[in-house]
Amino acid sequence: MNIRVAHLYPDYLNIYADRGNIAVLARRSALRGHDLDVTAIGIGDAVAPGAHDLYYLGGGQDREQLLVAEDLAAKAEPLKEAHAGGAAFLAVCGGYQLLGRGYRGFHGEDMPGVGLLPLETVAGDRRMIGDVLLATELGPIAGFENHAGRTYLDPGAQPLGRVVSGFGNDGESGFEGCRYDRAIGTYLHGPLLPRNPRLADWLLAQALAHRCAGEPPELAPLPDRLEAVAQSVSAARARARGGRR
Residue pair 102/113 in contact (Cβ under 8 Å)? The answer is yes
Binding track, positions 24-43, relative to another protein; x by CB under 8 A: x--x----------------
Residue 109 C-beta-side C-alpha neighbours within 13 Å:
9
Give whichever of 95 and 115 is closer to another protein, judged by the CB atom. 95
Q: Is residue 237 a contact residue for another protein (CB under 8 A)?
A: yes
Q: Is residue 230 a contact residue for another protein (CB under 8 A)?
A: yes
Q: Is residue 17 a contact residue for another protein (CB under 8 A)?
A: yes
Gap between the Cα atoms of 88 and 108, Å rounded: 32
Stretches 44-52, 158-166, 183-191, 210-218: which one binds another protein (CB under 8 A)? 183-191
Beta-carbon count within 10 A of 55 CB: 25
Gap between the Cα atoms of 184 and 57, Å rounded: 10
Angstrom CA distances, 160 to 35, 48, 103, 168, 169, stand at 27, 27, 20, 10, 10
- 93 catalytic residue (yes or no): yes
Q: Binding residue for another protein (CB under 8 A) from 39, 106, 226, 239?
A: 226
Stretches 156-164, 168-176, 202-210, 230-238: which one binds another protein (CB under 8 A)? 230-238
- The helix or strand, by DSSP H or E, that contains position 65, with its residue range, turns out to be helix 62-74
List residues near another protein by CB under 8 A.
11, 14-17, 19-20, 23-24, 27, 61-64, 66-67, 127, 129-131, 144, 146, 148, 189-191, 194-195, 225-227, 229-230, 233-234, 237, 241
